[in-house]
């Protein structure tokens, strides 16, 4: 049940991120597609979506990191993940500071890996584009 709730939560925010990214594409792009007689699917696939994905990467990265954090919150309820395992080890060994410090470092490394990967994707997608936004 927690997985469904978490999926709906992230899905709703992800949909809002994509809606905002699509609406951030300049109206002139739509007009140019109409002038070139592109079909709706071709317009979206070739012109609108590449620009929208570039705009959606930074908030999408935040959503992925939020998802990483929320899975540990859900683990307090049902799921078995890193924080649940850390709690089990703490109860078995009573080395609270060491175990939770290691868990903190592991979460930090995971968040930084997501951040690094998404920055790489953002740089790769923005090659050849002018700086200063999507307008």
Tell me how far apart the alpha carbons of residues 128 and 104 are, in angstroms, rounded to a whole number. 38
Class of domain 2-125: mainly alpha
Tell me how far apart the alpha carbons of residues 71 and 65 are, in angstroms, rounded to a whole number. 10
Residues with Cβ within 8 Å of residue 102, at least 6 apart in sequence: 86
Task: Name the percent of the chain lying above pLDDT 70.
Answer: 89
Burial class (CB in 10 A: 0-12, 13-18, 19+), 27: exposed
Q: What is the pTM of this model?
A: 0.65
pLDDT tens digit string along 33-44?
999 999 999 999
pLDDT value for 76: 58
Once rounded to an integer, what is the mean pLDDT over residues 56-65? Answer: 93
């Amino acid at each position: 049940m927690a997985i469904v709730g978490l999926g709906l939560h992230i899905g709703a925010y992800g949909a809002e991120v994509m809606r905002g990214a699509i609406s951030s594409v300049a109206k002139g792009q739509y007009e140019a597609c109409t002038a070139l007689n592109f079909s709706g699917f071709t317009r979206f696939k070739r012109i609108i979506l590449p620009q929208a994905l570039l705009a959606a990467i930074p908030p999408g990265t935040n959503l992925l990191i939020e998802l990483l954090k929320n899975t540990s919150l859900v683990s307090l309820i049902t799921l078995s993940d890193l924080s649940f395992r850390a709690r089990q080890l703490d109860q078995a060994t009573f080395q609270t500071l060491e175990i939770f410090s290691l868990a903190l470092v592991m979460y930090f490394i995971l968040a930084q890996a997501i951040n690094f990967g998404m920055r790489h994707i953002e740089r790769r997608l923005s090659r050849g584009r002018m700086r200063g936004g999507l307008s």
